[in-house]
Amino acid sequence: MQQNGKKIITVGVTGASGAVLAQKMLGLLDSDARVERIHLVVTETGLRLFAEELAIPSSSAHQLVQRILGHPSQKIEVISNKDVGASIASGSYAVDAMAVIPCSVGTLAKIAAGTCDDLIARSADVMLKEARKLVLCVRDTPFSRIHLENMLRAQQAGAVIMPAIPSFYHHPKTIDDLVVQYVCRVLAQMELPQDVMFRWPGSATAKEAKA
Ligand SMILES: Cc1cc2nc3c(=O)[nH]c(=O)nc-3n(C[C@H](O)[C@H](O)[C@H](O)COP(=O)(O)O)c2cc1C
């Protein structure tokens, strides 16, 4: 955390389905007064998924943020995934929390194996070695034994495994309702709870039974 009490966050975006999850997270982080800086790293396939799923073409860093958010950002710094010498590749640079959203099973494998061969893998490795919060929003289905073992390995090293699985207990009406609730759960893990998150008040059936 910064001296002013504000947070520094890293967001890694990989080539798994669910670019909209990254878009929603970046929007919420950008408008969050508790957040000072957001380091955004997008893999080559992550860029392809922004194009495939959200019709956001690959472009300069400045244009990418503008296209993802619909407006420019003072907080979001895009860093190349090849730049393993960036600030976030060092434990001496105090990132408060990192999410990989969505996280492909390929990047999961790199993180579980500690390869550190690109900036997302290296930054995630740094979060684990420094015992800082790392949330992996793994997306694929079904999972193979390799995926499951990699998730276990990453979890045992300190990562939070939050597969991109929607919830329905808040009666979502739109895809945005599903996306918001999921992303808010991820942000709550990163100690950035959001007012828009639905909190389960206890089931009506159970309350009726008690009365
Ligand atoms: C349209 C499209 C959808 C994909 N969806 C997934 C997915 O949901 N989960 C996954 O793990 N990989 C998915 N892949 C495959 C990954 O993009 C691929 O394994 C890639 O090498 C991952 O690299 P990265 O982790 O560096 O982004 C998809 C690829 C494409 C082109």
CA-nearest residue for atom 28, ligand 1, is 16
pLDDT (0 to 100) of residue 3 = 72
Find the 159 Cα to ligand 1 centroid distance in Å.
Answer: 20
Order across the sheet with 7-13: list the strands.
76-79, 35-42, 7-13, 97-103, 133-138, 160-161
Query: Residues 160-207: pLDDT tens digits?
Result: 999 999 999 999 999 999 999 999 999 999 999 998 888 888 887 766
> For residue range 44-82, what is the model confidence (pLDDT) as tens digits?
999 999 999 999 988 787 799 999 999 999 999 999 999
pLDDT at position 86: 98
Ligand 1: nearest atom to the Cα of 46:
27
CB 89 within 8 A of CB 126: yes
- In this structure, is residue 23 part of a structural domain? yes
Cα of 15 vs centre of ligand 1, distance in Å, is 4
Least confident of 2-6, 9-13, 115-119, 143-147: 2-6
Distances, alpha carbon 79 to alpha carbons 13, 141, 183, in Å: 11, 29, 22
Write the CATH number for 152: 3.40.50.1950
Specify the ligand 1 atom closest to the Cα of 17: 8
117 lines ligand 1 (CB under 6 A): no
Q: Pull the structure tokens for residue 137.
A: 């929003």
As a whole number, mean pLDDT of residues 151-159 equals: 98
Closest to 52 (Cα-Cα) out of 87, 15, 82: 15
Report yes or no on 2 lying in a domain: no
Structural domain count, the chain: 1
Among protein residues, the one whose CA lies closest to atom 7 of ligand 1: 16
pLDDT mean over 19-24: 98
How high does pLDDT run on average in the chain?
95
* CA–CA dist 139, 65 (Å, integer): 23
* Structural domain range at position 171: 7-210
The SS3 call for residue 77 is: strand
Ligand 1 midpoint to CA 17 (Å) = 7
Who has greater pLDDT, 5 or 164?
164
In a domain, 58, yes or no: yes
Dist CA 204 CA 55 (whole Å): 42
Give the pTM: 0.96
**Quick check: is 114 in a domain?**
yes
More confident site: 211 or 106: 106
Residue 70 domain-assigned? yes
Query: Would the CB of 16 count as within 6 Å of ligand 1?
Result: yes
Residue 45 in contact with ligand 1 by CB distance below 6 A: yes
Is residue 100 a contact partner of residue 133, using CB atoms and an 8 Å limit? Answer: no
SS3 48: helix
pLDDT at residue 128 greater than cutoff 90: yes
Kindly state if the Cβ of 52 falls inside 6 Å of ligand 1: yes
**Residue range 24-45, pLDDT digits in tens:** 999 999 999 999 999 999 999 9
Q: What is the pLDDT of residue 206?
A: 67
- Specify if 1 maps to a domain: no
